[in-house]
Amino acid sequence: MRCDQTPAWAQLLSSAEAFAGFDLRQAFAQDAGRAAYFSQEAPGVFADLSKNHWDANVQTQLLDLLDQTGVLAQRDRMFQGQAINNTEDRAVMHWLLRHPEDGATFWPSSMRTALKDVHLTLNAMLAFAEQVRSNSQITDVVNIGIGGSDLGPQMAVLAMQAYAQTGKRFHFISNVDGHELDAVLRGLKAHSTMFLVASKTFTTLETMTNALSAKRWFEAQGGTDVSAHFAALTTNVEAAAKFGIETCFGFWDWVGGRYSLWSAIGLPLAMATGSENFRAFLAGGHAMDQHFQSADAPQNLPIRLGLLDVWYRNFLNYTSRCLAPYHSALKRFPAYLQQLEMESNGKQVDRAGQRLHFGTAPVLWGEPGTNGQHAFFQMLHQGSDVVPLEFVAVKNAVHPLPDHQALLLSNALAQAQALMLGQTDAGGHKNFPGNRPSSFIVLEDLTPFNLGALIALQEHRVFVSGAVWGINSFDQWGVELGKVLAKDIHARLISGNAQGLDASTAQLLKRLR
Ligand code: F6P
């Protein structure tokens, strides 16, 4: 049933009205069990969701909404390999990429075959990663890709820097803006560089333009052995071969771009950290898959987070969520999650193409703490809008510097506390309203396993809100129009033909020629 037609939706609407007077300070004062009730252990991750604007009654109604919208059946369809990406008639099986070699006995043979292929490719890709790792001649690895073919590996290589082999530098080129590639190429030598052309489709304008320029640069530098210095990570093996790349690691159309870090797209991570760590990363993701599939809904962390997201978006009308990782190696995590959530759930029609009359994906944004505290936290504390904040803290640091970690963690805790408690007796400019919501996610250590679990948690949480809303979280038609128009404008920018353009575009075209 469509979510806004369910009895639970109506109940949640009246709960939201009653929630106008809800105050976190009172909620904690009245209920000694609140912190425990709204906390959740999951593989690799602990989450305290108690400083949020909800109570047990709301959570129960949200769980009813989950039932009434058939989210669990949809989850099961994903894990059965059904074509739940209905607009592209594709299965959604990124989870299979992190599944151990033995499939379940009840699986159809097509899924067993897919799993076999996954492991064959994984083994080949990891062998290649080890080969490059042990080749001391290669000092620089350049990943050329954009969107899911960039944000995932870039975020993860940085996150796992403590596990990375020294002596190799990793560069990520995504933008068609030549300044980016040019700046990197200036510091490279052809004989010591390995280029990875990462593109699910192998047609993306930015990636193809950058790959071609990289190849031209390589040849101009005297590089002759393209096959030894270029590898492709793609579902389009044919196009990679046409481009002249022989070393190719494939994946499948049932892996969405923003879900592809677990596939050959993860090669930079495997090269940086080695096969054992890459396998641990996959194991963390798999452990979260099992939790999502088997934990009862009230104790299921992706479900609880996904439902909280729906409550905030549709009932309390919070239109954005801020993410603050208190670990500098998680610097790119907000950018990665932006694509994951906003490209998945930024839609206004349901799976059947019918217009939806309620909000879907919130705006997701953020920066690492403590940096954000000295920039936009002002608005979180005293601004006119309520923006739920999600902290991600890592208990143990790996650097040897004294004092820093305790200062970092106390800042995270203090910010969550300040948001909630506020300061209502200071008057005027010094007044903090308090009662501002936040979630607090804790990892014991930033290990490959825990990172895998954290990412899979976010994938499933996005799945849950998308499934409640009844949208297809696995297509991205909204990126197509701009691509088509850019082709036309490109020709016009070269020819100067502004005929038929609106006055603003025509004027800007003229100015930019
Ligand atoms: O244009 C959006 C998009 O298709 C993303 O979904 C994808 O991650 C990105 O472009 C890159 O696509 P590809 O890996 O096919 O180059």
Tens digits of residue pLDDT in 317-339 = 999 999 999 999 999 999 999 99
Instruction: Give mean pLDDT, residues 176-180.
Output: 98
* Separation of CA 331 and ligand 1 centre (Å): 21
| Residue ID of nearest Cα to ligand 1 atom 6 | 257
For residue 356, pLDDT beyond 90: yes
Closest CA to 101 of 83, 120, 79: 120
CA dihedral 318, 323, 326, 328 (to 10 degrees): -160
Work out the pLDDT band at 62, boundaries 50, 70, 90. Answer: very high
* 477, pLDDT greater than 90: yes
Average pLDDT on 184-213 reads 97
Pocket probe for ligand 1: among 476, 481, 484, the residue whose CB has the most ligand atoms within 8 Å is 476
Residue 302: what pLDDT? 99
Average of per-residue pLDDT across 38-50 = 98
> What is the Rg, in whole angstroms, of the alpha carbon atoms belonging to the chain?
24
Q: Over pLDDT 90: what percentage of the chain?
A: 97
Per-residue tokens: 250: 């494939």
Q: Is the pLDDT of residue 150 over 90?
A: yes
How many other C-beta atoms lie within 10 A of the C-beta of residue 18? Answer: 11
- Amino acid (1-letter code) at residue 177: D
Domains of the chain with bracketed CATH: 3-90+286-475 (3.40.50.10490), 99-273 (3.40.50.10490), 478-512 (no CATH)
Distance CA 56, CA 37 (A): 8
Residue 513 has pLDDT above 90, yes or no: yes
Mean of pLDDT over the chain: 97
- pLDDT for 167 equals 86
Is the model's pLDDT at 354 over the cut of 90?
yes
State mean pLDDT over 432-455.
Answer: 98
CA of 508 to the centre of ligand 1 (A): 27
The pLDDT score that the predictor gives to residue 452 is 99
How far, in Å, is the centroid of ligand 1 from the Cα of 145?
Answer: 8
Cα 137 to averaged position of ligand 1 atoms, centre (Å): 32
Apex CA 162: angle with CA 160 and CA 168, to 5°?
Answer: 85
Q: Is 483 a catalytic residue?
A: yes
Separation CA 68–CA 470 (nearest Å): 12
Residue 47 pLDDT grade (very low, low, confident, very high; cuts 50, 70, 90):
very high
**Would you say the C-alpha torsion 230, 120, 89, 69 has a positive or negative sign?**
negative
Please identify which residue in the block is written with the tokens 């960039």. Answer: 150
pLDDT of residue 104: 85
Average pLDDT, integer, range 104-113: 91
Mean pLDDT of 491-511: 98
Inform me whether the pLDDT recorded for 103 exceeds 90.
no
| Lookup result for tokens 């920018």 | 493
Who lines ligand 1 at CB under 6 A? 146-149, 199-201, 204, 207, 257-258, 343, 476, 479
Q: pLDDT tens-digit profile of 242-295?
A: 999 999 999 999 999 999 999 999 999 999 999 999 999 999 999 999 999 999
pLDDT at 1 exceeding the cut of 90 = no
Taking the C-alpha atoms of residue 155 and residue 498, their distance in angstroms, rounded to an integer, is 40
Judged against a pLDDT cut of 90, whether residue 166 lies above it is answered with no
